[in-house]
Amino acid sequence: MGFNSIQKPLSWLALGCLLALSPICLVAQEITVGPSLQVFTVLASIQAVAQSDADLDPFGSPLGSAIGQELTGKDIPILPALRDFYMSHKQSDPLREQSQYVSLALFLGDAPFFDLSENPSTLPQEVWDLRDMVPLVVDFYQQAKIDELWQKYRPQIEADSEKYRAAMTRIIQEMTGYLRMDPTEFRSRNFSVLMNPFAASNLTDSRIYENRYYLVVGPGGAVPEEEMRHAWLHYLLDPLPFRNPREMLSKSALIKITQRAPALDNAFRDDFDLLLTESLIRAAIVRQSKGNAAAKQAAIQQAVQEGFVLGHYFFEALETFERQPVGMRLYFPDMVDEINVADEEKRLSAVQFLAVPPRPKERIRRSRLDEMTRLAEDSIAQGDYESARQILAPLLEQYGPQARVFYSLAIIASQQKNADLAKQYFQQAAALSSDPSIKSWSHVLLGRLHDLEGNRDSALVEYAAALKIDDAPVETVVAAQKGLQESFAPAGATPPPLPQEDPKPRHGVPLGRDVPSTPSTPSNP
């Protein structure tokens, strides 16, 4: 996306006392704070439109107004076309109006071309709806000489970034140390705090796009440490539910309680993993807060009343976690397994849920491909393979070859005893996927199918291929090594869990979750 060239990565040397990171890890996982030329250009075009028309309101930032004043004196022939586009996409909510253009900017390539994917399956719907703006932005960048404005104002934006950089470094040290987690264990993920000079100083806009976490902040004002801490905890904790699908499924009945919580966004009612992760994050933030015991109890009670129904449980469970040495990645499955559904239902029966949220509801943005694939994966988890197949098959026709879809279809075919079709789909998933989890599990499960057919030589080839994949999950490596040592023999008829993409394509989950890494080792193909 081109952001790395215009941002300063956080100094990992400052975190040396906490983590010993290799250069390879730093390349695979960028954590950056700074300005974005794409955000600057797209928002400048809207500012120019607003300041050229008395009927429109420009953005309220003093810095944005100063930039807009300079644009007012320029000859920009594309402005009328930009104004028409702006008016045809105007939102009633001013915050959502600016947010949609930030979303577009986050998906643009480098200047001066600002390339945008032409595949709707890779974009959130709101970005796809704005795709016709890209050629207008390209012309605006040239005509308004944005490169000159960028060079003029970038030092000021960079200077303002330093306090965010310092705060982010401190938050990483505090929260990563508290959870005893190495953030590099989930590879190929990025976390960025981006400056939006056109936003109000108290405005933050947090979202997750696939493996990229963003917190977009306005200039000046106090550093939004609470939002930064919240976003960082999502970055650390979001993958964990997907590494432990069996434990998550066994507790998912608790989601029905959210029907009594009108203040809770519907996204949390429909996704137990998302609900549990947010409950854990709220509990971790409260436990690390500086208030006294009464204040902490009040804070976690409010989180529960909002609808984050496992807040109390995790608040108590984290106290036990703090007294032992194991890190959260390994501790998490046992902590979830210890949830007593009946006890939590009894505790929550007395809760008076809030009628309205104490803060604006978070919006969950996903593409249609992601929505449908997630729906199919839920059906697979419930053993409804035919419904899942009927959801997935049309996606290949509509969106073309998709590794995640092929993998799910392979799981379905294997459970429906169609080994030849399963092998075909696993081969396509392995060939297409850039995700080490999907790719390595496809090879392992192909190997197991060959073993079941008595084709040991082909099985050995697949197990060896799985071991050659960089950043393959530990569970897959263990399964592949075992496959090389002995022919696979199924222990039972339990279907294998889906190895989720790391991260699973989830388009724009503001302070929600991205996904995952890999779950437990499948027991049969």
pLDDT, residue 271, reads 85
Identify which of 399, 400, 379 has the alpha carbon closest to the alpha carbon of residue 391: 379
Within a 13 Å sphere around the CA of 102, how many CA atoms are in the beta-carbon half?
A: 29
Element (DSSP H or E) covering residue 105: helix 94-106
Beta strands in 120-238 (DSSP E): 190-195, 204-209, 212-217
User: Alpha-carbon Rg of the chain, whole angstroms?
Assistant: 24
Identify which of 182, 186, 207 has the alpha carbon closest to the alpha carbon of residue 196: 207
Bridge pairing between strands 204-209 and 190-195: unpaired
Say what the pTM is.
0.70
Measured between alpha carbons, how far is 336 from 325 in angstroms, rounded to an integer?
Answer: 18
pLDDT, residue 494, reads 44
pLDDT, residue 482, reads 94
Residue 409 and residue 425 in contact, taking contact as beta carbons nearer than 8 Å: yes
DSSP label of 408: H
DSSP label of 14: G
Blockwise average pLDDT, block size 10, the chain, 525 residues: 44 32 37 94 94 66 88 93 94 82 95 90 84 98 97 93 92 95 76 91 80 86 89 91 81 93 88 93 96 94 97 98 95 96 96 85 60 81 88 82 91 93 95 85 95 95 94 86 91 49 40 34 46
In the structure encoding, which two tokens stand for residue 222, read together? 């106090």
Measured between alpha carbons, how far is 390 from 219 in angstroms, rounded to an integer?
Answer: 49
pLDDT, residue 19, reads 30
Measured between alpha carbons, how far is 304 from 495 in angstroms, rounded to an integer?
Answer: 34
pLDDT, residue 489, reads 81
Residue 34 main-chain phi, psi, to 5 deg:
160, -175
Domain(s) of CATH 1.25.40.10: residues in the chain = 368-485
The vertex-430 CA angle with 214 and 380, nearest 5°, equals 75
Identify which of 336, 342, 305, 341 has the alpha carbon closest to the alpha carbon of residue 318: 336
In the structure encoding, which two tokens stand for residue 462, read together? 């697949």
pLDDT, residue 400, reads 76
Q: Which amino acid is at 3?
A: F
Q: How far is residue 60 CA from its own chain's centroid?
A: 29
Element (DSSP H or E) covering residue 8: strand 8-9
pLDDT, residue 44, reads 96
The vertex-247 CA angle with 243 and 251, nearest 5°, equals 130
Residue 209, beta-bridge partner list: 212, 507
In the structure encoding, which two tokens stand for residue 459, read together? 């099985």
Measured between alpha carbons, how far is 270 from 265 in angstroms, rounded to an integer?
Answer: 9
Measured between alpha carbons, how far is 470 from 436 in angstroms, rounded to an integer?
Answer: 7
By CB atoms closer than 10 A (0-12, 13-18, 19+), residue 13 is exposed
Quick one: how many helices (H) and strands (E) in the chain? 24, 5
- Which homologous superfamily is 368-485 in? Tetratricopeptide repeat domain (1.25.40.10)
